[in-house]
Amino acid sequence: MHQPPLPLTQDLVLIGGGHTHALVLRKWAMKPLPGARLTLINPGPTAPYSGMLPGFVAGHYSRDQLDIDLVRLAQAANARLILGSVTGIDPDSGTIQIDTHPPVGFDVLSVDVGITSDMPALPGFAEHAIPAKPLGPFAARWDSFRNRTGPANVAIIGGGVAGAELAMAMAHALKKRNRPATIHLIDNATILSALPAKSAAELRGAIKAFNIILHENVQITHLGKHTINLDDGSSITAQFITGAAGARPYAWLADTGLTTHDGFLTVNDRLQTSDPRIFAVGDCAHMAHAPRPKAGVYAVRQAPVLLYNLASSLSGGPLKTYVPQKDYLKLISLGKKSALGDRFGLTFTGPWVWDWKDRIDRKFMDQFDTLPKMPTPPLPYPRAKGVQQAMGPKPLCGGCGAKLGRDALSKSLATLKPAQRSDITPLPGDDAAVLQTGGAQQVFTTDHLRSFWPDSAVMARIATHHALGDIWAMGANPQAATLSITLPRLSETLAERTLTEILTSAQTILQDAGADIVGGHSTLGDDLTIGLAVTGLLERDAITLSGAQSGAALILTKPIGTGVIMAALMSGKAHGADVAGALDAMQQGQKTAAYILGNVAQAMTDLTGFGLAGHTQNICAASGLSATLTLEAVPLLHGALDLSERGEHSSLYENNRAGFSNIPDSPNTRLLFDPQTGGGLLAAVPSDQAEQTLKKLHQNGHPDSAIIGHLHDGRVGQVSIA
């Protein structure tokens, strides 16, 4: 007998994509705990690896090599990834506050957010400098500065190992680019004082070889634009100022009510905070039982113990203790491909030490490039004829990629009898109808999405914007919505948490649009699905597909490519940053664009499952025209073309492609048939008003809007490319 999926009953939440959590996720992917829902919260789709930062700064590694792709990692672990910054934890209510998301509940929680080298007490630092941690923003800022031309003046505040590594790496990088550089290393005490004397002396020699200017035992009073002012009245000029002085905790940790030490979360030998449900690891934690300096090696060694204790806490088992090693191997980059090693009082330097460090770092990162995959179970035998063909060559996409094909849909709709009521005006080809209600004109539509992203709040926002697309496209003002929600099998507690996230997210968007939730229906099933039936009020005649005139310009308000990116996400081939960009695009509302276009559009639709070519054809067929699309003018989401060139496409692609034999096959043209979820508005606008309309769109929050082609007389319904 077939075993149904086990219900999810416990929420395990990981805050931060630090080294420990990254390893926990990878191990969880190989052996998840049945019944536990795993969530990762991180500000961005990637997490930089600190061990390779000096090599990146020096130019030995690319930006991509520095990052762990958390989207791919979370997918392998079957974890939902919430992109946002945590602003607080409330242990009493068991919730986490996030800047981009409704509060998230937890049963067991782990914190691995690292540290910052920000110096809030130093006047002018926040305005004129960039802290070396968190690494992501620093790496992006340095990448931009490094690639400029002309003389460079750089200052690093903090003369510890991290500051020395950065100074030498920056000097090497700028020398490679033939940029005359002046590098300042500044400290209020003696630099490298925490190292053994022999290692400190070796590092001083390496620093001197780069002609780095040392400023020791000096006090900084304040920072100005390109200046560091000292208490003796002198100043240091620098175009790029960073801070690597000490480890500072994030301020919100102290507001949790948990026990802290100098702002760091205090943990016991089982890595638990003062609340036994909450664990903390890495640099944000203070090990009260065995205090140690902030170093990535401890975070890596904590991972197996943390994983065991998290699973035991969720299942009611005993916990293990974590015993940190007394000393650890320090491998310090020396700018060029050379390094210094230090352990147990021994010091050794040379290119071979760099090679050793490089192998260790690459081995650590390689495990996140090669992720475990669940094997696909074989099809049963014997089986009914046609099963394999019906399944298709790839897994079924979510969102609009899961729509029924055009042929099957149109043939089914053709069996319906004409509307029998006189107060209903069906609009052939449109996804909505106009109702006459008490003298008012009301647009009525429905839309429904199967989940393709495990964050229910994000799916709710996308589904709501997607459903509103029909209302906006017809020039109506949103009025009311009912929701139809299918949740996967969950305990009552988890179901309540999930439903609250969905309703809160949907209501925020609907109320911003001027509409309200007035009811709905919920049920349990295999997958999360969210549907909305929406009404809108018309103050003028509806904008339909059939009003376009020959010569009209076609304006598209969003880039395309969501289908191919989300399909590649399913196969583990999409870059996390590209997935995040696609999700952002799908969550962009069209309220302002609809108002701008509504004043000039002759015909309009929202871009959904049939892709740009299919929806353009719908306008042409309804208006009795042909269209020519300017291929290079069509805006694309970052990563979409690269994936198309690699042969990736949605499961609905082949169906969308049928019937367009006049359009040649190429990576660019394939994207014309890419099903869109939460796509932009496609409007036919008089040619003499197109440029002014485009300018208004750009000025009002739709910078990717573009004129992508025009309509003309010809074979009705034909779409060509230029």
Phi, psi of 52 (to 5 degrees): -100, 5
Q: CA angle, 287 as apex, 284 and 292 as ends, to 5°?
A: 90
Q: 300: which 2 tokens?
A: 């890596």
Q: Which residues lie closer than 8 Å to 539 by C-beta, 6 or more apart?
A: 477
Q: Helices in 31-102 by DSSP H: which ranges? A: 53-58, 63-66, 70-76
Please list, residue by residue across 649-674, b when 16 or more beta carbons sit within 10 angstroms of its beta carbon and e when fewer do: bbbbbebbbebbeebeeebbbbbbbb
- With beta carbons less than 8 A apart as the criterion, state whether 553 and 687 touch: yes
**CB within 8 A of 48, min separation 6: which ones?**
66, 67, 68, 135, 136, 139
Task: Kindly list the catalytic residues.
Answer: 400
Whole-number Å distance between alpha carbons of 227 and 124 = 10
Determine contact, residues 75/118, Cβ cutoff 8 Å: no
Among all chains, which residue has been given the structure tokens 């496209």?
473
Per-residue exposure over 158-179, b if at least 16 CB sit within 10 Å of its own CB, e if not: bbbbbbbbbbbbbbbbbbeeee
Whole-angstrom Cα distance, residue 202 to residue 338?
12
Residue 129 tokens read as 């400098």
- Beta strands 706-712 and 626-629: pairing type? antiparallel
Tokens representing residue 46 in the block: 């990637």
Q: Which two tokens stand for residue 580?
A: 């995040």
**Type of residue at 434:** V
Read off φ and ψ for residue 353, nearest 5 degrees.
-70, -40
Residues in the chain: 722
Q: Name the phi and psi angles at 217, rounded to 5.
A: 55, 45
Q: Nearest CA to 111 among 285, 249, 361?
A: 285
What does the block give as tokens for 693?
A: 């309309």
Kindly report the three-state secondary structure assignment for every residue of 634-649.
Answer: CCECCCHHHHHHCCCC
